[in-house]
A and B are shown apart, each in its own frame.
Chain A
Amino acid sequence: MAEKEEARVGVFICHCGTNIAGSIDIMDAVEYAKTIPNVAYADQYQYMCSTPGQGKIVEAIKEHNLTGIVVAACSPRLHEPTFRVATKEGGLNPFRFEMANIREQNSWVHMHDKESATAKAKDAIKIAVAKAALLEDLIPKSVPVEHAALVVGAGVGGIQASLDLASAGIKTYLIEKWPTVGGRMSQLDKTFPTLDCSQCILTPKMVDVGRHPNIELMTYCEIEKVEGYIGNFDITIRKKARGVLSPDEATARGIVGGGCNGCGDCAEVCPVIKPNPFEMGMAPRKAIYIYHAQVMPLLYTVDFDACVKCGLCVDACGDKKAIDLEMEDEFITLKIGTAIIATGYNLMPIENKREWGYKQFDNVITGLEFERLICASGPTGGHLIRPSDGETPKSVGFILCAGSRDNTGNGKPYCSRFCCMYSLKHAHQIMEKIPGTKVYLFYMDIRSFGKMYEEFYYRIQSEGAKFIRGRVANVLEDPQTRNLYVRAEDTLLGRPVEVECDLVVLAAAVQPVDEEDVIRKHFGVSKSQDGWMLEAHPKLNPCGTTTAGVFLAGVCQGPKDIPDTVAQAEGAASAASIPIHIGQVELEPYFAQCMEELCAGCGMCIDLCPYQALALVDRSDGSGRKVMSVTEAKCKGCGTCGGFCPGGAIKMQHFTSPQIHAQIDAFLCGGEQ
């Protein structure tokens, strides 16, 4: 462990107000630090991250001719970048900095044991100094960024993110698994609290994404493979066989003036009938179909699982020759710089809550089914009926928190955040459309926290909806009348209550879409405890992820209503456009390095690498032998190869074996090697 120069380490201990100083004796730790080998200077300050705190580092580097800096403070996730900048300002390479976490991993967990906490802090400082003494200058690499972005999911979040990116001059690929853009918002009748028609405010944006010159809309497509890294992702898209050619695709095949114009002649003659998922299965569609009249793009789609290939549609289409029943899936490769995931949500399978009778009793429906039944363009033309007999309901019960705020494992522990508000809206719509209908909302808490939301709650109360504070225990059905008996406790009266309803609407909890795990793993994005995708920081980086260049928008990150989804989408678009506009990204230089003279070229590390960053190449000395080579931009510095290499030929920069050995020695032998 020969050192090229005498190491002179400066140690700075932060009080963090009382966060650290409350449970660690700072002055004792400073005095101790001065006794550690290689420490040339030790100091403390109230808030090291403040301007004067950083100034201390800059000054000390110059004054004491320091070669390495240790700050004992909070987690490096928080302020490592701050102190690196200070180290650089003092004239040192920024990677000459090491952090000792004495807050999250010490003072906060040993709040009532000052003596032990102080002893532990001393150990942490000693270990950090051991590494700081051996730190080397590192130069970050820059890689160019592809001037294009990908957005996964074309609901309102994906649409907004795409429009923002495209308007900022970035080529944007918008991928959607459904045959049309629009997502959940296009299924809604009205939006709270303004009662805007959902389709009316969304369709202009749907049309915009269809004709924006910078947006390439790819509906009925799925992500097949993701390779690469920030700035240079290679995305393979599966373009599912649609069976129908767009006018452009028809032209490419030499069919002049052909392709689908959305006339619908094909669906008219198609003999196969299937439930339409857009209408929550409550209306029929054909095997060749569009979801609804306002689809974007206006292209029919063949459901090849249902199609009997009778060919009637091909005849009906005639000279346009838009239908190709032999079409197969295609694979398209895209090069993009950054990506936004906006995959949205599904309702949880609320039939698992047997006590509420969904899928046992016809007249128990979900909130999304209600949206379609009350919507003028829905299967009933906007006439609310109850499914068992088509009668107009005279009393409707709403069960809030259906599966949300549920710790049993057969539900979701979180609040789904928009069910209170849409249930209020449903109550309003019923009272408006069917005067005289009684509305009961069974609730635990009405969470009307947004702008003009509490006022909306007030309005629905004044319109006469009955609010019963109690979670519903069970729903029973009278087999003759098919009426439902909703049982709960009116907790405000302290009495059990039974309400007879014609129709019961479950405000079912939301959960991630089925494909979430697959998409998440393609992009290397983590999952939080509740199943949604994990943001980089819940408060300070809500759009980012732990994968550089991949961002989140909308409900895929956690339940959100439309305003919050749009806001996050705009945030994600802004974040995703930054590396593209800068044109290059700096990568942390933590990558593995092959020491050619030690590498035997066995290649065993290649398959171990989780990031496909390694390859065998010809040795530079022309001997014809192979050595391992690292694509530095792909390497995440995980150390899998370095830990495995039988010849010790792989050096992990910033985590070299001598540095790690020194840390272990410092801890176990008190620094005496």
Chain B
Amino acid sequence: MAVKKYDNPDLEKKLHDTRYHSIDTNPEFTKKVLDISRTIANMCYQCGTCTGSCPSAPRSSYRIRLFMRRAVLGLEDEALTDPDLWLCTTCYSCTDRCPRDIAPTDVIMAMRNLAFKRDIIPRNFLKTAQLIYSTGHGVPNNDVNRAARVKLGLTADPPTTHSYPEFIPGIQKILNYFELKQNADRMLEGE
């Protein structure tokens, strides 16, 4: 439908049409989410058990139920550009309780994969990818931690890649296969 123009960019932005239109829905997106997540988001009846169970929801604007709705309707841009997509802790409480036997967590994971393919990803996730590449840990050991471990009678470093750095190349091989590090480097270039 033709939309009235105002000859004023600020006003046009303020008064823009917030309806979603049939043209915004992409059935391919619904199918892609289904293929990656292997769960049937279109069976969702929007009861809210997922959001009610979500530890993230009371502390943020993240509403997993809305992402399920976007998956059903194929609202690709709305889903993938929403920063809330990255607030899921993947605790799987919603999946545990969903009465329709859907796995909302897996829907979120599928959408994150699709977003990453479009270079939509928060910086901290990219930093984490870089750290895993270089140390084998998303959160590497630090001096405070080392002191605490020694105080508890443990070795300063845990028996992971921190103690056995010879396994780091293996991890790097896996990340290289998915080009995770290369993509992270590219997107963070200049920082």
How does the 8 Å CB contact mask read for B111-139 relative to A, with 1 for contact and 0 for none? 00000000000000000000000000000
Partner of B52, one of A405, A408, A411, A470: A470
Q: Are B47 and A407 in contact (CB under 8 A)?
A: no
Contacts of A470 in B (CB 8 A): 47-49, 51-52
Residues from chain A with Cβ under 8 Å of B33 in the complex: none
Q: Which residues of A contact B93 (CB under 8 A)?
A: 473
Chain A residues with CB under 8 Å of B107's CB are: none
With a 10 A CB-CB cut-off, give which of A411, A469, A494 has the most chain B CB atoms.
A494
* A473-B100 in contact given A491-B65, A496-B57 (Cβ < 8 Å): no
Identify which of A406, A489, A496 contacts B99 (C-beta below 8 A).
Answer: A406
Most buried by B among A408, A489, A494: A489
Q: Select one of B46, B58, B97, B99 contacting A491, CB under 8 A.
A: B46
Contacts of B43 in A (CB 8 A): 407
Nearest chain A CB to B188 CB, angstrom units: 33
Partner of B51 from the list A406, A407, A469, A489 (CB cut-off 8 Å) is A489
Q: Return A562 CB to nearest CB of chain B, in Å.
A: 27
Q: Which of A486-532 contact B (CB under 8 A)?
A: 487-491, 494, 496-497
For chain A, give the interface size range.
20 to 34
Residues of A within 8 A of B47 (CB): 401, 444, 470-471, 491
B181 sits at the interface (CB 8 A):
no
Closest Cβ neighbor of B61 among chain A residues: A494
Instruction: Flag if B66 contacts A494 (CB, 8 Å).
Output: yes
In the assembled complex, B54 has its CB within 8 A of some CB on chain A? yes
CA distance A494 to B46 in the complex (A): 11
Shortest B79–chain A CB gap in Å is 16
A115 contacts B by Cβ under 8 Å: no
Q: Establish whether residues A488 and B99, one from each chain, have CB atoms under 8 Å apart when the complex forms.
A: no
Of B45, B50, B53, B57, which contacts A474 at CB under 8 A? B53
Count, chain B residues at interface, CB 8 A: 22
Residues of the A chain whose Cβ atoms lie less than 8 Å from the Cβ of B101: 407-409
Interface string of A417-443 (1 = CB under 8 A from B): 000000000000000000000000000
Contact of A489 with B98 in the complex, beta carbons under 8 Å: no
Q: Is A355 an interface residue (CB 8 A)?
A: yes
Closest Cβ–Cβ distance, residue B65 to chain A (whole Å): 6
Given contacts A489-B52, A496-B52, contact A474 B97 (CB under 8 A): yes
CA distance A487 to B93 in the complex (A): 13
Closest to B43 in A: A407
Give which listed residue, B49, B54, B57, B58, contacts A471 with CB less than 8 A: B49
Give chain A residues whose Cβ lies under 8 Å from the Cβ of B70: none
In the complex, chain A residues whose CB is within 8 Å of the CB of B53: 473-474, 487
Which residue of A405, A471, A473 has the most chain B CB atoms within 10 A of its CB atom? A473
A472 within 8 Å of B (CB atoms): yes
Contact yes or no, B97 A489, CB < 8 A: no
Query: Nearest A residue to B48 by beta-carbon distance?
Result: A489
CA distance A21 to B34 in the complex (A): 36
Complex: how many Å from CA A401 to CA B46?
A: 14
Question: Closest CB-CB distance, A495 to chain B, in whole Å?
Answer: 8
Which chain B residues numbered 66 to 113 have a C-beta less than 8 Å away from chain A? 66, 93, 97-101
Interchain CB contact under 8 A, A411 and B58? no
The smallest beta-carbon distance between B47 and chain A, in angstroms, is 4
- A473 and B99: CB pair below 8 A? no
Q: A494 contacts B97, CB within 8 Å?
A: no
Q: Given A489-B52, A496-B52, A473 and B97 touching (CB < 8 A)?
A: yes
Residues of A within 8 A of B49 (CB): 470-473, 488-489
Question: When chains A and B are docked, how far (Å) is the Cα of A484 from the Cα of B63?
Answer: 24
The contact sample of 23 A-B pairs, CB cut-off 8 A, is A401-B99, A407-B99, A408-B99, A408-B101, A409-B101, A470-B47, A470-B52, A471-B52, A473-B50, A473-B53, A473-B97, A474-B52, A487-B53, A488-B52, A489-B49, A489-B51, A489-B52, A490-B48, A491-B51, A491-B65, A494-B63, A496-B52, A496-B58
B residues near A, CB below 8 A?
Answer: 43, 45-54, 57-58, 63, 65-66, 93, 97-101
Using A473-B48, A473-B93 as known contacts, list a sample of 10 further A-B pairs with CB atoms less than 8 Å apart, ordered by residue number in A.
Answer: A407-B100, A408-B98, A444-B45, A471-B48, A472-B49, A472-B52, A473-B52, A473-B97, A474-B53, A487-B53
